[in-house]
Structure 1
Amino acid sequence: MDALEPARGAVVGRGIAAFLLADVSSLADDMLMYLVERIPEVGGDAELRGLTLGSCSSNLEAALSMFRHGIDVAAAEAPVTALEHARAMASRGHSVDVMLRFYRLGHEYFTEKLADSLPDTIDDPAAALRTFADLERFAFGYIDRISSLVAAEYVAELDRRQNQVRAERADVVRALLAGERVDSARAERVLGHRLTGRQIGFVCWVEDRGVDLEGLARQVGRSLGSAHTLVVADGPLGVWGWVSVTGSARTPAAGVAEDSPGGGARVHIAVGSPHPGAAGFRTSHLEALRTRRVVELSGRAAPSITEFGEVALVDAISRDLDAARAFVAAQLGDLARDGAKERGERAALLAVLDAQGSLVTAAGRLGIHRNTVLQRVRRAEERRGRPATAEIAELHTALLVCDVLGASVLRESSPH
């Protein structure tokens, strides 16, 4: 084998590159048509079509010039038009795979063009094959490097746009929650959420990572009767959600917390009441936050879903927790201790009051005999120091607060 053959091959290859460079404009036009026929996303988008042509032209010129002058492919940088093309693809919502198809198909076009032109330019088949291999090896390396660079720019542009969208959404949510005047049409457009109809706000939170909180929020939204849920992150372990309902609001399904995406985690959901319009967006959310506070004070361990209406009275009484403890102590006396016996007696007394004095109904609710209920009620009255008929409204409220908040408002159990 002639030792000069590789050098001659390189000279021939550079000559081919120079030959193609001389006609790079028509080559780029031809490549554009090749891509348009195979990538429907270009469609009638005149701006994207123009950027595609610019990217074809600048990449062909850069690659052929580098090969012609023996410049290492590692020195290649993405042309400005190629980077702008990547940003345009991201802004239009096309996937990164669609964007990279331009480069894969562009490489395919170049390979076909090279295979067609070399036999007419180089008489020696062996020399033509070596030249083809050299040009293809360089073209593959160039496409590999440029693809990585434009993909990185695509991701960066996507991040910029997503961050901008998140920031704009967060600003609109902040304004609504602050009670500021907002342009409802703009707010709905930014949030992708209707502010007409009745608004239901809810919060979901967990103690450990691993739960798909956004998926959980959408599941809660569907449970409330809405196909669309506005979801806003509240740190790594929580989300805020809103739905807009026009008909009757549904009661959230009890199993939503247990069947949450992520499985097995301790999930809590607090739901505000329905309120109309933009003001309702704020009011229902604040109710959900107040419900969360009550749930956290209660120390519930099991997954839970709690509506504001269930704890509204407890929320009002416990706004000042010290005052709530004093109220409970004044109403219950020694019954306000955190012991097993006191707990059973409070439950029996509360069940009787809920049942408007019916021992049978209370016994059925508690799953015990009516005589047992009666005995516990009498012991509860003894601990309280006065009959259940004294200050009955206050007694009922104090028992309800104890039932929901438990140890948060009770004294320690008596050592005796």
Structure 2
Amino acid sequence: MGARAGESADLPEAVATELRRTAAELLGDVSSHADVMFDYILERIPEAGADDDLRGLTLGSCSSNLEAVLSMVRHGIDVSASKAPVTALEHARAMAARGYSVDVMLRFYRIGHAYFTERILTGVSASISDPALALAVVADLQRYGFAYIDRISSEVAAEYIAELDRIQNRVRAARTDAVRALIAGDQIDLGRAERALSHRLTGWQTAFVCWTERDDADLARVGSAVGAHLGSPHPLLVPDGAQALWGWVSTAQAPAVEPPDLAPLVEQMPKTVRISLGTPAQGAGGFRDSHAQAQRGRRIVELSGRGGLVTSYAEIALVDVMSGDLDLARGFVASELGALAAQGRQTEEERRALLAVLDAQGGLAAAAEELGVHRNTVLQRVRRAEERRGRPATERVAELHAALRLVEVLGSAVLTSESS
């Protein structure tokens, strides 16, 4: 096709003249053609009539596009000068706002071009007595119409995507504001917050945090798996940067988050991701409190530099409370354990044996079963532990138990240098 309709270098003057005459004639009845085009589109794309506003914009787009392309043909304007009409851009924004896909939106233009080819060009060929002239006019109009639609559809698609981005940004902003307000304990309209979050704030709220050091981890998929395990196929997920994710589930009953209950979840998790679960709690306050616990659980896991793939706050709540000030916790451990607070394989075995006995309320057999060693081995290790500590295990039992639990969870973060 030439740069301008009717102005190809080898296009006879008779064809150019007839093209412009035909375009002028069609322009005189453009409203009627637009009405018929709208009905043609509506028959094939029912979404065009979803509501009065969309119907009006679809009809307006038909009219403005027909008028634009025919006016350009009439005046020999290069197709590269074409711009999407305001109504066409508004139609694209309306389609995005209603949640229709870009493919549905672009079908309007494909179907519109089909109408132009099937109805208008057929009428043109019938109104020109010279078959050769009619064929040349129709062919040039077809080429120009296709070039126009190709150009305009790219513009409206770009506007559709831009509007979708604006909508999604507004949705993300509303979600973020609602989450921040809930976490801060602000007074908010719970119904409005639920709509913004697509998340029920009544019932039991269980929060979790997922994080990783990898850039290629699919945390959204991990979050969905956690939600499904806890009883919600559609958890609320909020990215916290590129390597962390906050999540909540809302359930009618409190989900089980004890270690044995989490075993099936652990099996699903990638080894590069860590998950911290808060304790289930009710209502908007539970949304906040469970999240705070999940965040504190993450702190404990990162302090320890170890731990399993999935950690429930209930497992480490005591350690969290005792380690708010890490220097104080370290001093407490040193004071209670003495030389037993040193790092090293042997001291670790002795600490584990002493803790197992305290957990078993003094039962050597239960402690031995827990550790997988003979009861005499447990007894020997406990005696060495008492020697290192400098006092028997029967003194300051609560403090000893707490110090050993701190070391069990936080490890080197609360221990002194390597033992000699």
Same fold (TM over 0.5): yes
The equivalent position to 1:178 in structure 2, one of 150, 160, 184, is 184
- Distance in 1, matches of 2:401 and 2:12, equals 98
Identify the residue that residue 363 of structure 2 maps to in structure 1.
358
Q: List per-residue Cα deviations over 1:174-223 (Å, max 9, x = no partner).
A: 11111111122222222211111121111111111222222221221121
Query: Is 1:157–2:157 an aligned residue pair?
Result: no
Query: Is 1:94–2:103 an aligned residue pair?
Result: no
Q: How much has 1:392 moved relative to structure 2?
A: 1.2
Query: Is 1:11–2:10 an aligned residue pair?
Result: no
Query: Is 1:380–2:385 an aligned residue pair?
Result: yes
- Distance in 1, matches of 2:10 and 2:278, equals 83
Identify if the C-alpha distance between structure 1 residues 204 and 4 changes in structure 2 by more than 3 Å, giving closer, same or farther. closer
Q: Secondary structure at the match of 2:205?
A: strand
The equivalent position to 1:284 in structure 2, one of 290, 295, 318, is 290
The equivalent position to 2:70 in structure 1, one of 47, 53, 64, is 64
Identify if the C-alpha distance between structure 1 residues 8 and 48 changes in structure 2 by more than 3 Å, giving closer, same or farther. same
Contact 1:257 1:269 in 2 (8 A): no
The worse-fitting range, judged by mean Cα deviation, of 25-34 and 226-235 is 226-235
- Distance in 2, matches of 1:125 and 1:290, equals 83
Structure 2, unmatched stretches of 5+, are 1-8
The equivalent position to 1:249 in structure 2, one of 251, 255, 277, is 255
Q: Secondary structure at the match of 1:194?
A: coil
Identify the residue that residue 327 of structure 1 maps to in structure 2.
332
Identify if the C-alpha distance between structure 1 residues 5 and 188 changes in structure 2 by more than 3 Å, giving closer, same or farther. closer
Q: List per-residue Cα deviations over 1:26-73 (Å, max 9, x = no partner).
A: 000000000000012123411101100000000001011112212111
- Distance in 2, matches of 1:5 and 1:169, equals 60
Identify if the C-alpha distance between structure 1 residues 4 and 363 changes in structure 2 by more than 3 Å, giving closer, same or farther. closer
Contact 1:223 1:250 in 2 (8 A): no
Identify if the C-alpha distance between structure 1 residues 365 and 70 changes in structure 2 by more than 3 Å, giving closer, same or farther. same
Query: Is 1:209–2:215 an aligned residue pair?
Result: yes
The equivalent position to 2:268 in structure 1, one of 241, 254, 259, is 259
Contact 1:100 1:147 in 2 (8 A): yes
- Distance in 2, matches of 1:155 and 1:4, equals 40
Identify the residue that residue 350 of structure 2 maps to in structure 1.
345
Contact 2:254 2:281 in 1 (8 A): no
Structure 1, unmatched stretches of 5+, are none
Normalised to the residue count of structure 2, the TM-score between the two structures is 0.93
The equivalent position to 1:396 in structure 2, one of 393, 401, 414, is 401
The worse-fitting range, judged by mean Cα deviation, of 266-275 and 38-47 is 38-47
Q: How much has 1:257 moved relative to structure 2?
A: 4.9
Identify the residue that residue 274 of structure 2 maps to in structure 1.
268
Identify the residue that residue 106 of structure 1 maps to in structure 2.
112
- Distance in 1, matches of 2:387 and 2:140, equals 99
- Distance in 2, matches of 1:11 and 1:370, equals 108
Q: How much has 1:5 moved relative to structure 2?
A: 5.0
Cα-Cα RMSD: 1.7
Structure 1 runs, 4 residues or longer, greater than 4 Å off: none
The equivalent position to 1:31 in structure 2, one of 27, 37, 44, is 37
Identify the residue that residue 198 of structure 1 maps to in structure 2.
204
Contact 1:195 1:244 in 2 (8 A): yes
Query: Is 1:78–2:84 an aligned residue pair?
Result: yes
Identify if the C-alpha distance between structure 1 residues 192 and 335 changes in structure 2 by more than 3 Å, giving closer, same or farther. same
Q: Secondary structure at the match of 2:265?
A: coil
Q: How much has 1:112 moved relative to structure 2?
A: 0.5
Q: Secondary structure at the match of 1:67?
A: helix
Matched AA of 2:314: G
- Distance in 1, matches of 2:89 and 2:271, equals 44
Q: Secondary structure at the match of 1:256?
A: helix
Q: How much has 1:86 moved relative to structure 2?
A: 0.5
Question: Aligned residues, how many?
Answer: 409
